[in-house]
Structure 1
């Protein structure tokens, strides 16, 4: 009985295999001439289009239109003291002493005594000048008295008119005595000044840069004693190009004296910042760069949170005029050749020379390209990172990036 069941199962499986083989063969035979081929489902064209588009090179773009922006001008310069003085001796003599304040790096107040020149001969000259003044005053008084006596005698003589000679009334003698007194007073004034010059003093609040004397030195009139920098303020000469001047208001020195224009200054490494102002603008071009400069001033440079030392190289950031109809683009959008690449309405690559107005915080602000290259929507699709392999007229797929 078990054997019969096994035979039945084997027979059924064999018949099934035969039917499957016949069905597969029939499905792969070409249809007969009188038999219509079964309809094949059509593939929709959008799928093919999508496949074709996906094969186009993709470029990242930003959509821009003309907007209004405040220009920013960046310049560079070196901080210099308003006054840089080579201190010189006003008189000759031996240096008796030098102040400990008269050392490089020291900040001194106006009038600080920096050194002493031996003053014995100058004190003696002062005493002599005082004596000469006293004698001249005495001579003048005596001459005035003699002149009065001469006039009195002339009147008593009964002679009419004026004397034949001015010597009769001692007029020239009186003039000579008066002039002698004036000369003696001037000599006294000079003697006092020479005594004052024996003390070497600071003419303004200053930073001592160098000292060129020591006790025992002998100096002549005009001998260099040291170098001082004023510390009340520093100046930064910032040369600018013609394009940068166009982005700034028309500065007038008289107006700047009343209302200074604020400027932000940065150190070369960007770690330190100072606030200054435009004090004046120059009215000439330098022979070397052919540029015109503006002068930025920082008050009390050594009293800032971060001291601004003379000689520091700084970057000046100046807010300029408000300009209209500009594109704001990432700096990477300008190619190495100075061109702007964009995608037109037909999806083709095109380029135009960039007319840069100014740059600010990683963006470049340019004038829109020629009107005939504008898109119908009014927005331009500017390529953010143009490649050197780009060629005009290549069809691409633009992808807007934030």
Structure 2
């Protein structure tokens, strides 16, 4: 057993000596003609690897150029009546009659009598006022006659100059009688008006929104009787951003009064449309949105093929002015971060913040991207559907889509 172990050790040492001799001999030989000297690989220029086009990721693009497009401004607002009236009692008394049309949902004409208040005391007041006018007229006539008599007596007295007091010719008494007559006439007008107010009438063509009294109710002056909306027209206040105002012509109220600007009004689901027009523009910014609004009007909203009810939330579509040098892109070309991705002339992905002018019919219209210190062509390849994992500088294969 001891002998075998000694033989094994001698064998291993012999093999090691042979490999050491071979390594030394190889180091002394000159390098082969095609072999580079040690360290030459680090100094050589690395070989650039070219990825075959078939292996590049494909992106769908649209080719765009700057053109002129007519702007379209979209706004939203609530349809409101021009007049919203809380109908109040002008006189006190018991409600003795209510018109059947004085109910919510009814449309009434101007001057329609909606109800009556007990008018006996007001008829009596009118009669008394008429009596007072007649008495004041009589008092004036008597004072005028007495004044003429006083003047005649002064002339017969032979005194010269003016009387020492205006009372001699009864001048103050005549002025007082005239004033009393004027006051009596005004009291008569007041009595006539109060009697007229016992009839509750509609001040304009109106939609009854609510009725707040019943037959037998006792009302005081100022008691709320109901609520009315005018039906001749509704208004939509549309707040716009500064960019949207720039896409519209320079409106002013004097011009709009002569030639209103037509507007298409749509329901929130887009299934119903109503014709409207811009009647005026506001000259102040609202405190909530810090935006300026224009007022769109729809005439006879309850006489349209499909009624436009007050309180309806609507979308307004306003044709603006033509704007030069815009790109027309599908709405999907704008990323969630508001960027436009494009493929440059080297086939690399790049992006830029989108400057949206307006949107229309599924397209978005943006200002062209300005790339400094390059000779980019007038047309650009815009990625139609950018992905969230896109990285700037990625080599891609652009595929033009319609």
Q: What range is the shorter-chain TM-score in?
A: 0.7 to 0.9
Alignment partner, residue 75 of structure 2: 75
Instruction: Give, in angstroms, the shift of residue 255 of structure 1.
Output: 1.0
Alignment partner, residue 384 of structure 2: 384
Alignment partner, residue 272 of structure 2: 272
Q: Distance in 1 between matches of 2:66 and 2:241?
A: 25
Contact 1:331 1:363 in 2 (8 A): yes
Alignment partner, residue 251 of structure 2: 251
Alignment partner, residue 328 of structure 1: 328
Whether 1:291 and 2:291 are equivalent positions in the alignment is yes
Superposition TM-score, scaled by structure 1 size: 0.86
Q: Distance in 2 between matches of 1:218 and 1:117?
A: 9
Alignment partner, residue 101 of structure 1: 101
Whether 1:224 and 2:224 are equivalent positions in the alignment is yes
Q: Distance in 2 between matches of 1:127 and 1:54?
A: 105
Alignment partner, residue 358 of structure 1: 358
Contact 1:90 1:197 in 2 (8 A): yes
Q: Distance in 2 between matches of 1:202 and 1:113?
A: 7
Residue 346 of structure 2 aligns to a residue whose secondary structure is: coil
Q: Where does structure 1 differ by over 6 angstroms across 4 or more consecutive aligned residues?
A: none
Alignment partner, residue 10 of structure 1: none
Q: Distance in 2 between matches of 1:272 and 1:373?
A: 51
Alignment partner, residue 139 of structure 1: 139
Instruction: Give, in angstroms, the shift of residue 371 of structure 1.
Output: 3.8
Alignment partner, residue 305 of structure 2: 305
Q: Distance in 2 between matches of 1:203 and 1:378?
A: 64
Whether 1:346 and 2:346 are equivalent positions in the alignment is yes
Q: Distance in 1 between matches of 2:316 and 2:247?
A: 15
Instruction: Give, in angstroms, the shift of residue 377 of structure 1.
Output: 3.9
Residue 308 of structure 2 aligns to a residue whose secondary structure is: coil
C-alpha RMSD over aligned residues: 1.5
Instruction: Give, in angstroms, the shift of residue 326 of structure 1.
Output: 0.4
**Distance change in 2, residues 1:217/1:374 (3 Å):** farther
Instruction: Give, in angstroms, the shift of residue 51 of structure 1.
Output: 9.3
Instruction: Give, in angstroms, the shift of residue 247 of structure 1.
Output: 1.1
Instruction: Give, in angstroms, the shift of residue 376 of structure 1.
Output: 4.6
Residue 111 of structure 1 aligns to a residue whose secondary structure is: coil
Alignment partner, residue 33 of structure 1: none
**Distance change in 2, residues 1:345/1:220 (3 Å):** same
Residue 386 of structure 1 aligns to a residue whose secondary structure is: coil
Q: Distance in 2 between matches of 1:374 and 1:69?
A: 27
- What does the per-residue CA deviation read over 1:78-109, in whole Å, with 9 as the maximum and x for residues that have no partner? 00000000000000000001000100000000
Q: Distance in 1 between matches of 2:102 and 2:355?
A: 55
Contact 1:348 1:393 in 2 (8 A): yes
Contact 1:137 1:181 in 2 (8 A): yes
- What does the per-residue CA deviation read over 1:23-50, in whole Å, with 9 as the maximum and x for residues that have no partner? xxxxxxxxxxxxxxxxxxxxxxxxxxx9
Q: Distance in 2 between matches of 1:186 and 1:361?
A: 65
Residue 193 of structure 1 aligns to a residue whose secondary structure is: helix
- Unmatched 5+ residue regions in structure 1? 1-49
Contact 1:78 1:311 in 2 (8 A): yes
Q: Distance in 2 between matches of 1:371 and 1:349?
A: 14
- What does the per-residue CA deviation read over 1:353-384, in whole Å, with 9 as the maximum and x for residues that have no partner? 11111111110000010143876542100010
Q: Distance in 2 between matches of 1:52 and 1:176?
A: 114
The alignment of Structure 1 onto Structure 2 pairs a total of residues equal to: 354
Contact 1:133 1:184 in 2 (8 A): yes
Alignment partner, residue 111 of structure 1: 111
Contact 1:133 1:188 in 2 (8 A): yes
Alignment partner, residue 122 of structure 2: 122
Contact 1:276 1:299 in 2 (8 A): yes
Contact 1:374 1:380 in 2 (8 A): no
Residue 302 of structure 1 aligns to a residue whose secondary structure is: helix
Q: Distance in 1 between matches of 2:74 and 2:51?
A: 49
Q: Distance in 1 between matches of 2:168 and 2:136?
A: 22
Q: Distance in 1 between matches of 2:249 and 2:191?
A: 55
Contact 1:302 1:308 in 2 (8 A): yes
- Unmatched 5+ residue regions in structure 2? 1-49
Q: Distance in 2 between matches of 1:187 and 1:160?
A: 43
Superposition TM-score, scaled by structure 2 size: 0.86
**Distance change in 2, residues 1:320/1:374 (3 Å):** farther
